[in-house]
């Protein structure tokens, strides 16, 4: 059981490590997120756990004999097999090994603990299927107001169904991967043309991976859905608005989205997030029974977006109308088979009020109000060379900061 309330000894705010962890780190000993990294000359990504500015190399820990896994192979390539095995006990044991006073790693620590600065991060999971939702009422309302000003902003199904679409798994990339401006077909005054997108945008999102597969023909209640979640990452669902606007009717997002989706590389586990669940916003009308959860829990996660070092958005994930549990229960409700390593993204996270919208489309109100970057520059949509960085963290009062690291990418010009 992951449990979505409270936590255990690994979440104790008083825990300290014998490793030096900077006060402002996203990765205190209470976090211990999992990722895939390479360092030195080993070309095969291996599983690691972040603490402060260090990575604990799980292959080296296994080889030291201090903690044994069924095989070293399950720690290479992707996190899929490790999460199917179960990371709760692994994280608990690592918490013990890293706690101040523990000397069990001994001389093995030299090999097992490596500098984050010398490592390259890779995709944490091998992603089989990718779903993107549309679960922020504010975001859906903003888009309705922009594009259907004479109608009610929310379509009639929106408060009954967690709306989503199946995206493209092959173009999900880890933070740090450059994003090439896509070319595509868009509508213009003289009819359709093909060329580089002129309205390249971000979507600030939060995603979760699934840890296990399910049998075709089975569904999943909202409460059980949490037990299938491996952990949470930050997502940037890059969107070419001009391509999207011309292609999306009648079947929804397609090539305006599938050129790149970025994720943060460290998977913050459900175990680390246990203390940060709060009541989700009230739902009116009440959802159908298969989507009902009592209580319906949302993650209290703070988010911000920077362009070229300037913060353009600060918002909160807990304001989303549809919760992660409801999203996964909805996907499984028709009996589809879920796979280990599926990625489910929340949809653009937009809060209410200025500066709390999670896309440039909304922040610039469809390009009509340029965003002042405060350094003599403005933006409506992204320019080549722009670097977008998403950050996120959970924190109670002055407790440990359970951070997600960065989801960052730079835009490079369209290809020939």
Q: Which residues participate in catalysis according to the annotation?
A: 139
Instruction: Tell how strand 387-394 and strand 310-316 pair up.
Output: unpaired
CB of 29 to Ca ion, least distance (A): 34
Considering only the stretches 33-41, 236-244, 328-336, 403-411, report the one whose residues sit in contact with Ca ion under the rule CB under 5 A.
236-244
Nearer to Ca ion, 241 or 297 (CB): 241
- The reply on whether position 242 binds Ca ion by CB under 5 A is no
CB of 199 to Ca ion, least distance (A): 15
Between 192 and 221, how does the x/- string for binding to Ca ion read (CB under 5 A)? -----------x------------------
Nearer to Ca ion, 237 or 386 (CB): 237
* The only residue of 26, 129, 132, 362 in contact with Ca ion, by rule CB under 5 A: 132
Nearer to Ca ion, 272 or 303 (CB): 303
CB of 132 to Ca ion, least distance (A): 5
Contact 241, 381 (CB under 8 A): yes
Q: Is 26 exposed, middle or buried (0-12, 13-18, 19+ CB in 10 A)?
A: buried
| Total residues at interface with Ca ion (CB under 5 A) | 3
Distance CA 115, CA 113 (A): 7
Which residue is closest to Ca ion by CB?
237
Nearer to Ca ion, 81 or 237 (CB): 237
Considering only the stretches 48-56, 125-133, 276-284, 290-298, report the one whose residues sit in contact with Ca ion under the rule CB under 5 A.
125-133
* The only residue of 26, 81, 137, 237 in contact with Ca ion, by rule CB under 5 A: 237
Nearer to Ca ion, 203 or 271 (CB): 203
Nearer to Ca ion, 90 or 361 (CB): 361
Binding interface with Ca ion (CB under 5 A):
132, 203, 237
């Amino acid at each position: 059981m992951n449990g979505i309330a409270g936590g255990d000894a690994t979440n104790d705010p008083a825990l300290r490590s014998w490793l030096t962890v900077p006060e402002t780190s996203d990765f205190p000993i209470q976090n211990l997120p999992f990722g895939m990294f390479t360092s030195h000359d080993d070309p095969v990504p291996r599983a690691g756990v972040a603490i402060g500015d260090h990575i604990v190399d799980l292959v080296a820990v296994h080889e030291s004999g201090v903690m044994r896994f069924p095989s070293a192979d399950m720690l290479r390539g992707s996190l899929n097999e490790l999460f199917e095995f179960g990371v709760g006990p692994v994280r608990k044991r690592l918490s013990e090994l890293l706690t101040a006073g523990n000397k069990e790693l001994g001389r093995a620590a030299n090999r097992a603990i490596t500098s984050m600065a010398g490592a390259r991060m890779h995709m944490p999971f091998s992603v089989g299927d990718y779903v993107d939702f549309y679960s922020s009422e504010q975001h859906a309302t903003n888009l309705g107001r922009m594009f259907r000003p004479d109608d009610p902003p929310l379509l009639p199904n929106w408060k009954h169904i967690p709306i989503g679409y199946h995206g493209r798994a092959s173009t999900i990339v880890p933070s740090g991967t450059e994003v090439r401006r896509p070319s595509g077909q868009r509508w213009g005054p003289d009819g359709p043309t093909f060329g580089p997108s002129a309205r390249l945008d971000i979507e600030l999102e939060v995603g979760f991976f699934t840890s296990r597969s399910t049998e075709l023909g089975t569904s999943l209640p909202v409460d059980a859905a949490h037990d299938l979640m491996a952990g949470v990452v930050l997502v940037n669902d890059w969107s070419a608005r001009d391509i999207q606007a011309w292609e999306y009717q009648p079947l929804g997002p397609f090539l305006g989205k599938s050129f790149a989706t970025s994720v943060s590389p460290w998977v913050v586990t459900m175990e680390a997030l246990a203390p940060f669940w709060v009541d989700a916003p009230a739902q009116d009308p009440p959802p159908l029974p298969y989507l009902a959860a009592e209580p319906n829990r949302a993650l209290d996660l703070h988010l911000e977006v920077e362009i070229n070092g300037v913060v353009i958005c600060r918002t909160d994930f807990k304001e989303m109308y549809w919760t992660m549990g409801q999203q996964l229960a909805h996907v499984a409700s028709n009996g589809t088979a879920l796979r280990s390593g599926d990625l489910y993204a929340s949809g653009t996270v937009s809060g209410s009020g200025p500066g709390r919208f999670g896309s440039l489309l909304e922040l610039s109100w469809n390009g009509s109000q340029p965003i002042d970057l405060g350094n003599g520059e403005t933006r409506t949509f992204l320019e080549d060379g722009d670097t977008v960085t998403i950050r996120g963290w959970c924190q109670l009062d002055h407790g440990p900061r359970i951070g997600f690291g960065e989801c960052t990418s730079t835009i490079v010009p369209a290809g020939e």
